[in-house]
Amino acid sequence: MNKYDVAVVMHIDEELSDAEIHTLEHDLSFSPGILSACMNERTRHLMVVDYDPEQAYSYDILSNVRDRGYHAALIGL
């Protein structure tokens, strides 16, 4: 049983609307192993994703965002 979470910061190149941000946060948050995904109003290009490393991998999270047509890169944390 995992006793810790991992966080990763992702940079998204595109300017996302409020609706796009909400949809992305919601969809990622309900993906297996993802505990939360949020983007701060002041840093609209940066998303912090908390996840369980036994259930999800950072590359899969990045792929999920890229599969939606966004240009994204992992920054780390």
- pLDDT at 3 (0 to 100): 72
Query: pTM of the full predicted structure?
Result: 0.88
In sequence order, the 6+-apart residues with CB closer than 8 A to the CB of 65 are: 10, 12, 24, 28, 47, 72
Please provide the CATH number assigned to the domain covering 6-74: 3.30.70.100
Cα four-point dihedral sign 75, 11, 38, 27: negative
Report domain extents, the chain. Answer: 6-74
pLDDT digits (tens, 9 = 90+) for 44-57: 999 999 999 999 99
Instruction: Provide the residue type at 64 as one letter.
Output: N
For 8, how many CA atoms within 13 A lie in the half-sphere containing its CB? 20
State the Cα–Cα distance between residues 39 and 67, nearest whole angstrom: 19
